[in-house]
């Protein structure tokens, strides 16, 4: 039965990691037009739970895009300098939309794995009741 719990743990941690990733993607999309905003990303890490021995997925610290902020020419903008430029954001909406789709599909895959494990556990309990 502990293998079923390990599977539950792995699927649940995968869903949690993808939910965090999707939260950062949505923040990036919401701030795409915010001057000076840097794109946020997270990386994934495999971690072994010492108590159960299960491998879990965790997210690392939030990383900010290190690229230089693009300069946008708009002399009428409130943040424009004397030459008419201000710093834009490093968010590319196409990349964010692709990341959102990937995170959503990964979340769904983990959810399906979780549901399959739940169904197997239910089947095992049904067999044990007979």
Q: What is the mean pLDDT of residues 45-55?
A: 80
Nearest CA to 71 out of 62, 59, 79, 63 is that of: 79
CB 83 within 8 A of CB 20: no
Residue-level pLDDT at 36: 94
Global pTM value? 0.83
Rounded mean pLDDT of the chain? Answer: 91
| pLDDT tens track for 89-122 | 999 999 999 999 999 999 999 999 999 999 998 9
Helix (H, G, I), strand (E, B) or coil at 5: helix
Domain boundaries, given as residue ranges, for the chain:
2-129
pLDDT at residue 1, rounded to an integer: 44
Predicted local distance difference test score (pLDDT) of residue 3:
81
> Are 79 and 35 within 8 A, CB to CB?
yes
């Amino acid at each position: 039965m502990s293998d079923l719990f390990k599977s539950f743990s792995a699927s649940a941690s995968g869903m949690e990691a993808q939910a965090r990733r999707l939260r950062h993607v949505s923040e990036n999309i919401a701030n795409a037009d915010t001057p000076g905003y840097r794109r946020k990303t997270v990386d994934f890490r495999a971690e072994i739970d010492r108590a159960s021995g299960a491998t879990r997925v965790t997210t690392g610290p939030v990383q900010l895009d290190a690229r230089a902020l693009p300069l946008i020419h708009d002399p009428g903008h409130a943040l424009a300098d004397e030459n008419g430029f201000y710093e834009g954001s490093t968010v590319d909406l196409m990349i964010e939309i692709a990341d959102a789709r990937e995170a959503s599909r990964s979340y769904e895959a983990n959810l399906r794995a979780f549901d399959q494990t739940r169904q197997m556990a239910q089947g095992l309990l049904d067999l044990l009741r007979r």
